[in-house]
Chain A
Amino acid sequence: MSTVIKPTPAAKPLRFATPIGGVAGTSFKPEHLPAILEAGPRRGFFEVHAENYMGDGGPPHRALEAIRRDHPLSLHGVCMSIGGPRPLDKAHLARFRGLLARYQPALVSEHLAWSTHETSFFNDLLPLPYTEATLACVCDHIDQVQEAIRRPLLLENPSTYVAFRESSMRETEFIRAIAERTGCGLLLDVNNVFVSANNQGYSALDYLADFPLSLVQEIHLAGHAAQADDEGDLLLIDSHDGPVADAVWKLYEIVIRRRGAVPTLIEWDSNIPDWPVLRAEAAAAQAILDRHQSAAPKGERHAA
């Protein structure tokens, strides 16, 4: 008679201790799989966009299983629309939970942004005003996610190009309040800080001084592009299509000196280079992390 196939394959035992410590990882791109497997297990981790692995089967899952066999995984959600006013998509949340059960990632994160409104999915990380009303809504959404996945989520600070007239809080204030109310951890995207600081006319160092660094459990680094705004002034675009800028590396080292070594990801999502180029960017981050491995996270010491 017909063979019964289980819809959700059972999770394989985790081979890595968590937390994974101060290691550098990269985005996982399927075109790099042969080169990665040929080189064998390496120090570090791989991050994937959760939505790309929400199909039922086929080559994407084969690739992820192959990577996951020897390396810790970071599952990065892009489309939960946590920052939107609409109720979370229950089916999407169930898929997210299913992926966690199957792959047991060392890190799980999502964005302070929205991408769906009414029935339309816009495939972009859209901004939100920072008010008491949006704060309550975001916290409610994060509570729902954390309840579903039964572990803390890391929330990522956004890159933004506009501000809202109705905003009544600074972004750092808003993020700190979310973490306090929900117990979520934070993913600090240093490139996003640099991009938003330029675009919003504030100092990246002031932003970082005001950011709750002790709650940061992962860092993102990426490349950005330059355009101009209506007045012809520099407008930076979070493009993930090139190497990390020198100024972002400098900010990163400042963050690591204060925070201590935390898992750090090199994101590269378009104009994807050959694997050795991406690996070299991760090695540059690892060198900075290794200079600060022994230092206890200062933020935590203060908090203790």
Chain B
Amino acid sequence: MLPDSGSSFAASFAQALLDPARSTPASVIGPNGKAAGRRYDVYRNNVTVSLIDALAAVYPAVQRITGTEYFRAMARFHVRSNPPTSPLLFEYGRGFPEFIEAYEHAQDMPWLADVARIERAWLDCYHARDAAPLSPVPLASIAPDRLAEVVFTPHPAMRIVRSPFAAVTIFAANRDGAPSARIDASIAEDALITRPDVEVVVRHLPPGGAVFALSLASGQPLGEAASAALEAAADFDIATNIAGLIAAGAFTSHALGDAR
């Protein structure tokens, strides 16, 4: 169609949807010349409430921690300043952890943004492409002197979230509904999030584990990844960690690096 023909209705209708300070668009009316204020507000309400609901669906543990009223007030700010750009609502809220980090009223919960990052990664893992995880058996067939050259293909559902706080423990305590003992939030925790089949599993990685997994996921061979992990944590156990990552479904395949 021609540029602008009929397009003004959407521009003026859209402008006030997320801005309560703007008045009802002049283009809309009620029947028989009635006012359209509360009528237009139905759309405003649908948009804002449904997008807050969408954030609540992505971040249930954050909502449980803050309480519903607090969460919805915080989410309303985010929805109004950062409406979704994709019609796929499970993609929405990628900027929410950074928003929480900067949110004035959340400064006494410095770990909250990292809990949100785990929840965002959880949902990405949930919707990721299906793939059969690498079975633990084949690694045993590689000659011990070639093991350092082995490279791994990350599973499409695998995610890692690093936190200087006890974000994994806080996430777990607020996601499954189980009451927890008092948590020391100051202990750094890294999360491994995988979905080898249907269920998403969030694990707490040992020290050096995140450096190791991220290094392998970026295509570094096993030897180099292990060196990086040992640099991060002197007591890093290579055998336990690689077995743990494979058992968690972090990879789909492996190969000898020089064969590539």
- Bound together, the chains give a CA A159 to CA B162 distance in angstroms of 46
Contacts A1-B253, A61-B130 given; indicate if A164 touches B9 (C-beta within 8 A). Answer: yes
CB atoms of A51 and B88 under 8 A apart: yes
Kindly provide the distance from the CB of A59 to the nearest chain B CB, expressed in whole angstroms: 6
User: How many residues does chain B have at the interface if contact means C-beta atoms less than 8 Å apart?
Assistant: 56
CB atoms of B31 and A163 under 8 A apart: yes
A182: Cβ under 8 A from any B Cβ: no
Kindly provide the distance from the CB of A21 to the nearest chain B CB, expressed in whole angstroms: 32
CB atoms of A133 and B6 under 8 A apart: yes
A128: Cβ under 8 A from any B Cβ: yes
Kindly provide the distance from the CB of A34 to the nearest chain B CB, expressed in whole angstroms: 13
Residues of A within 8 A of B130 (CB): 5, 56-58, 61
B227: Cβ under 8 A from any A Cβ: no
Residues of B within 8 A of A129 (CB): 6, 9, 27
From B34, B85, B156, A231 is in contact (CB under 8 Å) with B34
Select from chain B the residue with minimum beta-carbon distance to A228.
B38
Kindly provide the distance from the CB of B46 to the nearest chain A CB, expressed in whole angstroms: 4
Contacts A3-B132, A57-B128, A201-B32 given; indicate if A51 touches B253 (C-beta within 8 A). Answer: no
Contacts A59-B198, A123-B51, A164-B29 given; indicate if A229 touches B39 (C-beta within 8 A). Answer: yes
From B10, B30, B88, B126, A162 is in contact (CB under 8 Å) with B30
CB atoms of B127 and A60 under 8 A apart: yes
CB atoms of B6 and A124 under 8 A apart: no
A31: Cβ under 8 A from any B Cβ: no
User: How many residues does chain A have at the interface if contact means C-beta atoms less than 8 Å apart?
Assistant: 63
From B42, B132, B255, A237 is in contact (CB under 8 Å) with B42
New A-B pairs, 5, CB < 8 Å, besides A2-B153, A120-B84, A230-B36: A85-B5, A119-B85, A124-B50, A166-B9, A230-B38
Chain A to chain B contacts (Cβ below 8 Å), 22 pairs: A1-B255, A5-B130, A51-B89, A52-B90, A79-B87, A85-B6, A117-B11, A118-B14, A123-B51, A129-B9, A134-B6, A161-B40, A162-B29, A162-B30, A162-B36, A163-B30, A163-B31, A164-B9, A199-B39, A229-B30, A230-B39, A231-B35
- Chain A residues proximal to chain B, CB less than 8 Å: 1-3, 5, 7, 51-52, 54-62, 78-79, 81, 84-86, 89, 92, 114-124, 126-129, 131, 133-134, 136-137, 140, 161-166, 199-202, 227-231, 233, 235, 237
- Chain B residues proximal to chain A, CB less than 8 Å: 1, 5-7, 9-11, 13-14, 17-18, 26-32, 34-40, 42-43, 46-47, 50-51, 54, 83-90, 125-132, 153, 156-157, 195, 198, 252-253, 255
